[in-house]
Structure 1
């Protein structure tokens, strides 16, 4: 079999067998899906959205007061936001809702790497596998797609499946909307029960090849199961237009950060445990020479904050258990906004205790003993209320001071 055929995925299965077009994203059905009120009443699952800034994430966003004395990165009293309990962030975050700002923390990550490729890989590798997949596989739930990547840019790290869970790329929301009963009737679509039978037949015909290539065809194996599981359940009607309106979108293609936040909400509401969203290309946030921090602030304000506000207002509430993690390759060093060897992650969620373990010094360094990448994922697993075995698999949670659980 050629390499192209080895890469067949769930969306290919549905396109071939059920007649849909665009990228596939199918999940467990939640009655009343797509309204904030329904989420508060029905969404009991935990979920995590990881927003990754490729190229770097300036520590001024999570540790603004570290630079106030010298005024480096353009930090002044006017552009700092003191949230309390030692957490001082850039005032860009002031546009978020009150709940998000009251449940935010900065997490220090001392990975010791100042090279893009190595830092990216390190952030998404724990025990030689992807922590995204480890977390998604271990959190349970009924979603057909447990780990989703929204948009054309894929999250870094190993692609090897963990307990049958692989990262599924979502580049268009149409198939999810159709599968959940939110789109306009499509006369070209077969009935769900017929499509399910077709997928079962296709899986049976492919068994010899699937068993002979268990690793290279794991996405195809998972795709059969996800498609069958989804099509075997009755579609639940929801208001797709409400989602589009909330995020000010006119189409379903995931081609902007606002669309990525919308797609992340859609996937979480349809049962995904972990969603990754990469904010641009490989060096989008590699802000060399940005000594005033102006470029970083402008990009963050334009690309991240609008969608983050809508997402957190709708999804990160006292009655949900959705956590957002924002981080990059590394922080920016001084004096030239180059590559530091640490990073500072921003985490927002109902189980996050306001505070910081990510306060850098004036030279963008973290205190000795600050945990590395494992510690970040152990913390995220904890605040996401993942099973204890998942948390311990990351080595536990060393950031207990900023955790409510």
Structure 2
């Protein structure tokens, strides 16, 4: 009996069996996506977007007033934004809409690690599993892909599937657009119902092998089900050009952060529970020597804010349940913008209570007793209204001061 691990992912299987029909199975279909107004109201399922800054996330963005007295990291009264509830952030957030700014908080994460490798792994590892996958699997739902990473750069941490949920990489939006009925019809392609029958036949022919290797071929088993479930649903009308225009895109490749935010919206609308986006590769945000914070601000304003504003305006609303969390390996230390051993993350969402548990001191330290990585994911899962068992799997939510749930 063979136990060789299959390298075919759920997305690969769906692409092979259904992609050629022009109806690639990416997620549960969301009806009524035709106008900007319908788009803004359609993301009613719970979802989380994780934006990771590889190299670090300067605390000037989440705790600006900590540096105002000494003027470190270039913080002045002119570039701070006091949102209320004790939350003072960098003024770069001022371009966000009113709802996002009224539903934002900073979260302290005392992981105690000042090395890139260890900090990255720690942020994305809880109970030796990826918290992204644990959360995505626990939230349930009918999406064919429950956890997606948008762009070529994958977030760190374990890649072991959790309850059949794996992190699927999305580097081009065309397949998903086709699945939602947003692509141009192709009369040469078979109908969806014919493709679904073909998948069923293929599954029956593979059944003996699948049952004999339940672990190593789990991705294929899940892939057959995902492909069939999606192709059994009618494609819904979707205005792809409206989405592209909103994010200022001319193509469907997921390259820069604007495209990653657009792809995140698309995946959430197609049923994904959790989407991750790495803001660059390598150590893009490892801003050594940036004592004035100018380099970090410039990158954040140019690379993060344009897409974040569009995404939050469209997806983070009073009638949605979409949460955004932004963090990096660690905060930047003083005096040289090196490696701190803590981080202060940013969360934005309808269930976020304006405030902070991530206010650092003037030396970029957090108060004793500040929760670690588990606490961050406990908060995020609570904000997403995940089942209690999921929240408790992270040890509960210790950040109730900034949570409405």
Deviations along 1:84-123, whole A, 9 cap, x unmatched?
A: 1110000000010000000000000000011111111111
- Structure 2 residue 8 is matched with structure 1 residue 8: yes
Partner of 2:66: 66
- Structure 2 residue 274 is matched with structure 1 residue 274: yes
> Could you tell me whether the CA contact under 8 Å between 2:23 and 2:179 is conserved in 1?
no
- Structure 2 residue 292 is matched with structure 1 residue 292: yes
- Structure 2 residue 328 is matched with structure 1 residue 345: no
Which consecutive residues of structure 1, in runs of 5 or more, have no partner in the other structure? none
> Could you tell me whether the CA contact under 8 Å between 1:110 and 1:366 is conserved in 2?
yes
Q: Please state whether the residue corresponding to 1:175 is helix, strand or coil.
A: helix
How big is the shift at 1:9?
Answer: 2.1
For 2:268 and 2:176, the matched residues in 1 are separated by 11
For 1:206 and 1:371, the matched residues in 2 are separated by 47
Deviating more after overlay: 168-177 vs 7-16: 7-16
> Could you tell me whether the CA contact under 8 Å between 1:23 and 1:170 is conserved in 2?
no
RMSD: 1.9
TM-score (norm 2): 0.95
Partner of 1:87: 87
Structure 1 residues 371, 231: closer, same or farther in 2, change over 3 A?
same
> Could you tell me whether the CA contact under 8 Å between 1:19 and 1:188 is conserved in 2?
no
For 1:136 and 1:142, the matched residues in 2 are separated by 12
- Structure 2 residue 130 is matched with structure 1 residue 133: no
**Mapping of 1:178-327 within 5 angstroms?**
178-327=178-327
How big is the shift at 1:22?
Answer: 11
For 1:196 and 1:292, the matched residues in 2 are separated by 58
Deviations along 1:256-295, whole A, 9 cap, x unmatched?
A: 1101000100011111111001110020011111111111
Segments ≥4 residues shifted beyond 4 Å: 21-25, 39-42
TM-score (norm 1): 0.95
For 1:2 and 1:321, the matched residues in 2 are separated by 41
Structure 1 residues 69, 378: closer, same or farther in 2, change over 3 A?
same
> Could you tell me whether the CA contact under 8 Å between 1:153 and 1:278 is conserved in 2?
yes
Deviations along 1:21-68, whole A, 9 cap, x unmatched?
A: 999661111111264432555443110000000111101000001111
Partner of 1:381: 381
> Could you tell me whether the CA contact under 8 Å between 1:148 and 1:272 is conserved in 2?
yes
Deviations along 1:211-235, whole A, 9 cap, x unmatched?
A: 4444443333322221111101111
> Could you tell me whether the CA contact under 8 Å between 1:65 and 1:80 is conserved in 2?
yes
> Could you tell me whether the CA contact under 8 Å between 2:44 and 2:321 is conserved in 1?
yes
For 2:285 and 2:21, the matched residues in 1 are separated by 33
Deviations along 1:185-204, whole A, 9 cap, x unmatched?
A: 12342211111122222223
Q: Please state whether the residue corresponding to 1:18 is helix, strand or coil.
A: helix
For 1:36 and 1:110, the matched residues in 2 are separated by 40
How big is the shift at 1:18?
Answer: 2.7
Q: Please state whether the residue corresponding to 2:20 is helix, strand or coil.
A: coil
Q: Please state whether the residue corresponding to 1:226 is helix, strand or coil.
A: helix
> Could you tell me whether the CA contact under 8 Å between 1:52 and 1:278 is conserved in 2?
yes
> Could you tell me whether the CA contact under 8 Å between 2:22 and 2:179 is conserved in 1?
no
For 2:218 and 2:69, the matched residues in 1 are separated by 53
Deviating more after overlay: 11-20 vs 271-280: 11-20
How big is the shift at 1:210?
Answer: 3.3
Structure 1 residues 256, 219: closer, same or farther in 2, change over 3 A?
farther
> Could you tell me whether the CA contact under 8 Å between 2:42 and 2:269 is conserved in 1?
no
> Could you tell me whether the CA contact under 8 Å between 1:66 and 1:360 is conserved in 2?
yes
Partner of 1:157: 157
For 1:236 and 1:172, the matched residues in 2 are separated by 20
> Could you tell me whether the CA contact under 8 Å between 1:11 and 1:24 is conserved in 2?
no
Partner of 1:334: 334
Partner of 2:45: 45
